[in-house]
Chain A
Amino acid sequence: MDETKYGWWLPVDVSTHGAKIDQLIAVLHWFMLLLFVGWGIFFVYCLWQYRARPGHLAIYAPVKAIATKYIEAFVVVVEVFLLFGLSTPVWLAYKSQPPDESKALHVRLVAEQFAWNFHYAGKDRKFGRTDLALIGGDNPVGLDPDSAEGKDDIVTVNQFHFPVHTPVILDISTKDVIHSFNIPVLRVKQDTIPGQRIPVWFEATDTGHFELGCAQLCGLGHYRMRADVLIDTPEDFAKWEQENAPPPQEAPAAAAPENHPAPEKK
């Protein structure tokens, strides 16, 4: 797929909730521009009109300025509107109105220095058991391949596939330090906090090849902690799921060690 074009302003938005964020950013910047320009004109006027020159004296008495009170009141009113009219509703929806679980694609994300590991539940839509002790080179999320639900699970590294027009619920966690899950075109960002599994959700409105980056300094490889975001058509996604499903295993030959060492307690 072609690389998306990026400019000097907000990139294309392919999420269902992003338009409102963009709207808020636009309104904010018009408001800021209005204040700054209006205020700047007065500022420059003052600097010119009241420059020191022979015969010009400063006025001791303070000027009665009703206008400033109105401007300050205007600023307060606009801020209240921005806060409760535009920002808070978007935020509440973003944080506390998850999509219907049954219709959504559920994915787990395990971040590490310096990669993004995606754990898909596979056909049965159930995640296999994971264990820290199983984490290794070819098993980045510590998936137990023997667990009944885990047999069909798909784990990808730095490849995030999901279908368009389908709500995605992503449970975000990290193995080591704080990272930040950031897909600019989807207008989502969420820090990964060690010891927590935090859900985020979004729905794409368009297919394409985009980028996921780490937005929180996480070490020397922070800059290259990048993943491909591939928003597919539902058909393509199904095909991808099919192709990437692990081959059915015959016998648990490569079984995990019997007694996993419990997490160190000292």
Chain B
Amino acid sequence: MSDHAHAEHHEMPFWRKYIFSVDHKVIGIQYAVSALVFLLVGFSLMMIMRWQLAYPGQPLPILGKILGDTAMPGGVMAPEFYNQLGAMHGTIMVFMGVVPLAVGGFGNFVTPLQIGAPDMAFPRLNMISYWAFLPGGLIMLASFFVQGGAAQSGWTSYPPLSDIAPAGQTIWCFGMVLLITSSLLGSINFIVTIVQLRAKGLTYWRLPFFVHAQLVTAFLLLLAFPPLEAATVLQLMDRLAGTSFFLPSGLVVSGEQLKIAGGGNPLLWQHLFWFLAHPEVYVLILPAMGIVAEVIANNTRKPLWGYRLLVYSVVFVGFMSFVVWAHHMFMTGMGTTMSTFFQTTTMIISVPSVIILTCFIMSLYGGAIRFTTPMLFATAFLPMFAIGGLTGLPLGLTASDIYLHDTFYVIAHFHYVVAPGTLFALFAGIYYWYPKATGRKLNETLGKIHFWASFVAINFVFMPMFFQGMAGLSRRLYDPTIYAHGRGVQALNVVISWGAWGLGLAQLVFIVNFFLSLKSGARVAENPWNATTLEWATPSPPGHGNFLTEPVVYREPYEYSVPGKANDFSPQFSPEGDGPARPQPRGGA
């Protein structure tokens, strides 16, 4: 931009530019990279767990020795360590992996670009959000090294178990407070940015679907997270100040009466926790749907089918997600009125989800589908999310939930939503926006290998879990072969574990591709995918302040293949709608 003579004066020092940056793009990339690292860590924890599940009681070669005698005496995993891995896998994946990637990463990087803003509304607040998130995450990881190990009461941390758990749980609470604070500040920033900073002409009905999804997500975070923050504070008080918010009178732990005042209620935690954690499910899935919408529209070369219906559905889903939480608590002994209420709301929320899926499939109809790597991931999202969504029905209905509650069926269900669902969508997003962030494309061949290997492996991981769940196998069992019905499906555990390790191998391809393409990927111009939304009007990568000229929006977001136009895409930012606004190398068309 500026000439080199003055660059010395204006150039910010390294730490201002890349560490404590206020630029949304840098922060977005910081979020994305940290989240990817956390995802890898969380996934690794699971790969270690899978050894114990596939070969219970057998020493884990090599790694078993490295992890030490407390965690793995004689190379065999200790039950406490198994529980730590389970709790931390969940916590890391949800709070430190997927949400920071979907909201912190993509939300930060893409949203301001798509709405034609120079940055987020509060750049410094944005930086603070990231710097609350990273220490929160690192504290969580550090808890593995304290006396008694990391949190081991599940990612749900139900008291009284979590109240009487070792010190790692206290660290979990502190980590959560930081992560929650980060998300809250971020959500304020997103809402203000989307409402106040849209470019000229960018009305709500011209917003890319991704931005709508981010807006709804931000509202979910804003209003659902504080109750968990409150609950976490109460749990900290229980653990540190000796209060009994979650502890009723008359508890006897290992033959000893607890020296507490009592009078609390453990279900209070569950209510406050699920008041967040159910909307959190939609925090995971909505940005993913946003990404899928972008990628599908771009690669089918036609407008999204039912764009307005999608927006209405997403708003409705967001709203309803606040009134379904107690379906996680059907088995706690709640009365029939409230349980009927909650199973009804749960069925209601499935309807807009069906509509969203229908819109996406109808968007394929009549297209000219380019099977680029992002499109492969976005396409795979649809059947995977469908499986995850449909299998939610038996869990949302109280009668079938009696049998399926807390079995592996639940694990399979929500992993189909989050892993081959959300994570595939996030991968689609990475392949789709990587050129915008770096100026280079990810390698397509490696990308396709990554996709197909992941797609096959991940189904080997989660599909058998439905059968294990059907057989009645409970989740979170250190050694499932204790049970006869567990022994009946133990063979599947071996399949799943090898599937998981294969999935891990497939991610190596992605890691290699990620770094290789950084150096030697094909350079791209502004708009490598011939896309229509505003982020493609900026240079790749965009400079500070994003847009060279103030962008103006002239039309709906997905005007592809408009009859009578020279190009098959009419960008939002081009006044005549006849191809690119600025001269640039033409691809195909």
Contacts and interface: CB of A to CB of B under 8 A. Distances in A.
Direct contact of A and B (CB under 8 A): yes
A257 B467 CA distance: 53
A216 B406 contact: yes
A104 interface: no
Given A25-B394, A28-B393, A79-B350, A59 B488 contact: no
A42 B361 contact: yes
A193 B267 contact: yes
Interface string B359-390: 00110111111110000000100110011001
A5 B255 contact: no
B365 A63 contact: yes
Contacts of B259: 264, 266
Task: Name which of A91, A132, A135 has the most chain B CB atoms within 10 A of its CB.
Answer: A91
B155 to A, nearest CB: 10
A31 B336 CA distance: 26
A266 B96 CA distance: 38
A135 B403 contact: no
A47 B361 CA distance: 10
A10 B488 CA distance: 11
Given A214-B474, A217-B476, A263-B249, A189 B257 contact: no
Q: By CB atoms of chain B within 10 A, which of A62, A72, A76, A185 has the most?
A: A62
Nearest to B302: A58
B305 A21 contact: no
B587 to A, nearest CB: 13
B475 to A, nearest CB: 8
Contact of B400 (A28, A72, A137, A191): A28
A177 B164 contact: yes
Interface string A71-111: 11001100110110011101110111000000000000000
Contact of A180 (B331, B371, B382, B386): B331
Contacts of B249: 195, 263
Interface residues of A, number: 98
B398 interface: yes
Residue of A29, A35, A58 contacting most chain B CB atoms (<10 Å): A58
B108 interface: no
A88 B266 contact: no
Interface in B400-418: 400, 402-407
Given A32-B393, A193-B267, A211-B483, A113 B253 contact: yes
B501 to A, nearest CB: 22
B386 A177 contact: no
Interface bin, chain B: 35 or more
B398 A56 contact: no
A205 B365 CA distance: 53
Nearest to B472: A184
B333 A184 contact: no
Contacts of A266: 259, 261
Q: Of B252, B370, B407, which is in contact with the most chain A CB atoms at under 10 Å from its CB?
A: B252
A195 B332 contact: no
A214 B475 CA distance: 10
B380 to A, nearest CB: 11
A35 B164 CA distance: 46
B262 interface: yes
A217 B397 contact: no
A58 B368 contact: yes
Contact of A220 (B79, B306, B407, B561): B79
Interface stretch (A157-165, A222-230, A233-241): A222-230
A83 B483 contact: no
Nearest to B304: A62
A83 B343 contact: yes
A245 interface: no
A175 B252 CA distance: 5
Given A47-B379, A60-B560, A211 B485 contact: yes
Contacts of B578: none
Contacts of B302: 58-60
Nearest to B358: A68
A140 B182 CA distance: 46
B34 interface: no
Q: Which of B303, B354, B387, B562 has the most CB of A within 10 A?
A: B354
Contacts of A94: 399, 402
A56 to B, nearest CB: 5
A180 B164 CA distance: 18
Interface string A25-67: 1001101100110011011001100111100111110110100
Contact of A95 (B78, B339, B367, B368): B339
Given A21-B402, A196-B333, A213-B483, A112 B471 contact: no
Interface of B: 78-80, 83, 86, 152-154, 158-161, 164, 247-255, 257-262, 264-267, 300-303, 305-306, 331-333, 335-336, 339-340, 343-344, 347, 350-351, 354-355, 357-358, 361-362, 364-371, 379, 382-383, 386-387, 390-391, 393-394, 397-400, 402-407, 467-468, 470-472, 474, 476-480, 482-485, 487-489, 492, 560-563, 568
Given A9-B467, A263-B257, 11 more contacts: A6-B472, A10-B471, A35-B386, A63-B305, A133-B257, A176-B254, A177-B160, A178-B160, A195-B264, A195-B265, A223-B477
7 contacts: A28-B393, A43-B382, A57-B568, A62-B306, A68-B358, A222-B476, A223-B476
